[in-house]
Chain A
């Protein structure tokens, strides 16, 4: 581990649990605990798991122009988001390239909480400040509370019942992409019904000195501690994009199949390019594919059609939930139809893959 990495409030807890710490996005984070990634994935798919995601950023945007500002820098609308709700969308540059993807919560009429990725927080903060200074000041203030707070993701089909038992008041009544305020063990928590695993679940922002207390309450309830490795497998099974892989400053949300998170009307950063692509289509598209067996596609591998390279893998893994190997990548639009057979170059060995509908995994609907 590197000495210049940041540590979350749970660093000592992770080490004492046997977590293998690795540098990630400027932080020292557990990639897995002793039971291993497969066991952690299984816990989230069948019961409950808890992730320390305090490395992700937490920014408050407030003031009379905060809504107008977010409408300018986000592909999703802030003005149509009701207080009490949350929304997923992108932060794009003028060319429609993705600086980051984010979830933002409307806390009150003029106050929002926005969550950037760990490694992108400096870029997002700089980008936001530039536009606040240029167009929205005075009237919009940004406050970065990442290091004074913590963020936990509590994920899995058992989480609604567990949350109702742990919190001072029921939580399971809130709908997906809504948030509320509760207390766990006396610690105030901002709870949103959101996540990055494809399962039902909750994400909780907690003041820094209370994070360990809430983590312990969750693990005492039976939640399995889960690391970055399991998080990556889970998000890939659910076909959720990861910045730096499926999306980056050189790709647009339209190419990544994220049209539904992009406003087709109104002017905002990137809207010229994005709305033109919505109208006219794109040359390459993000696709998902499966290949039999357990040898996984990895980022950077080539996808071929009749010997010609027509695409590149962005993420891949063995999927324990589906017991097959899965991957996502970009291919030329004319080869992007589900059902298309393509060849994958696995370090010189060729394997046939089949394009498939995304997501690979959808959680069973429960009554």
Chain B
């Protein structure tokens, strides 16, 4: 069961709004995604200050076996990246919804996040894959 305190995309990213007033949110990839990828060894993440766009490529993730694109769940400006992942990308395998977050974003529009899939819808979606 994916956590219900956040929203999901079909590209298997999650976004959690932390503060509506300052439009801050944190984003990552789902447990389903990390399980499909297998052992993650490397992340190429956007830089702080860079703009990211909803469902547009924002970086790459490499597992032992393959390279996959990362798509931003939201439109906004990157305010922080998870520096721990540079040395410990396996944190995303171990705790994709917590310690393994990828980026923090200042959102252009909070409503964009509200329009994404709920945990229940996302779980139904992955069950059908």
Contacts and interface: CB of A to CB of B under 8 A. Distances in A.
Same complex for A and B? Answer yes
Interface of A: 31-32, 36-38, 229, 232-233, 293-296, 298, 317-318, 320, 347
A296 B38 contact: no
Interface stretch (B39-47, B95-103, B104-112): B39-47
A38 B42 CA distance: 14
A320 B63 CA distance: 12
Contacts of B38: 32, 36-37, 229
A293 B89 CA distance: 12
B67 A37 contact: no
B67 A318 contact: no
Given A36-B38, A36-B39, A298 B67 contact: yes
A249 to B, nearest CB: 26
Interface of B: 38-39, 41-42, 44, 60, 62, 64-65, 67, 89, 93
22 contacts: A31-B65, A36-B39, A36-B93, A37-B38, A37-B39, A37-B64, A37-B65, A38-B39, A38-B64, A229-B64, A294-B41, A294-B62, A295-B42, A295-B44, A296-B41, A296-B67, A318-B41, A318-B62, A318-B64, A320-B64, A347-B60, A347-B67
B57 to A, nearest CB: 11
B19 to A, nearest CB: 33
B96 to A, nearest CB: 14
A295 B44 CA distance: 9
* Most chain A beta carbons < 10 A, residue from B60, B64, B65: B64
Q: Which 9 A-B pairs have the closest CB atoms?
A: A294-B42, A294-B41, A318-B41, A37-B64, A38-B39, A36-B39, A295-B42, A37-B39, A229-B65
Contacts of B42: 293-296, 318
Contacts of A318: 41-42, 62, 64
A94 to B, nearest CB: 36
Given A229-B38, A294-B42, 12 more contacts: A31-B65, A37-B39, A37-B65, A229-B64, A232-B65, A293-B42, A294-B62, A295-B42, A298-B67, A317-B64, A318-B41, A320-B64
A38 B62 CA distance: 14
Contacts of A38: 39, 64
B95 to A, nearest CB: 15
A242 to B, nearest CB: 14
